[in-house]
Amino acid sequence: MDDPDAELVRRARGGDEAAAAQLFRVAWPEAAATARAVAGSAASDDVAQTALLKAFRALPRFDGRRPFRAWLRRIVVNEALNVRRSPRRLAPLWPHVAAPPQPAPEGLGALWDAVAELSPDRRVVIGLRYGRDLTPDEIADALDVPVGTVKSRLARARRPAPGP
């Protein structure tokens, strides 16, 4: 598996502070965007920062079986899910994942409202799929669930709500 960050990871694990700083710079945009897609914008910086701190502390245990950014994405998703589950309520997830085009198309507010009503499992896969443009395989890896589970959650989330 070809990991573009492998050399930076190797050097950072060896104590090279410049490599660690560079690894942080290349990882931050992915971590922040993933956190925003799962936890909403109100908590995204805190989630990304906490996840990166956890990742850097765990770097000696990183085994390289998958790319660094995929490993980091999983840590970010777990941290974001922990924050979403916490008793203190965060700002609504939608419409913070992706800003709608200006002016917003008619009915977009209703779409965000409908997504907000989804179960957390479905809302997360929608956020990662459409907010981060991840493939079902990447989402499955980030959530540590089978790809079939991701596909079924996506399908169910896209299904229209039953009528009155």
**CA–CA dist 57, 163 (Å, integer):** 50
Joined together, the tokens standing for residue 103 give: 């002016």
- The model carries a pTM of 0.72
Question: How much is the pLDDT for 81?
Answer: 84
The sign one gets for the Cα dihedral 94, 98, 101, 105 is negative
pLDDT(160) > 80? no
pLDDT(72) > 90? yes
Q: Which CATH number fits domain 6-158: 3.40.50.300, 2.60.40.650, 3.30.930.10, 1.10.1740.10?
A: 1.10.1740.10
Distance of CA 68 to the CA centre of its chain: 14
Please enumerate, as own/partner, the contacts of 46-52 that have beta carbons within 8 Å and a separation of 24 or more.
46/83, 47/76, 47/79, 47/80, 47/83, 48/76, 50/79, 51/75, 51/76, 51/78, 51/79, 51/80, 52/24, 52/27, 52/28
Can you give the residue ranges of every domain in the chain?
6-158
pLDDT above 70: percentage of residues in the chain: 77
pLDDT digits (tens, 9 = 90+) for 42-64: 778 889 999 999 999 999 999 88
pLDDT(105) > 80? no
SS3 content of the chain, % helix, strand, coil (to 5): 70, 0, 30
pLDDT(96) > 80? no
Joined together, the tokens standing for residue 1 give: 């598996």
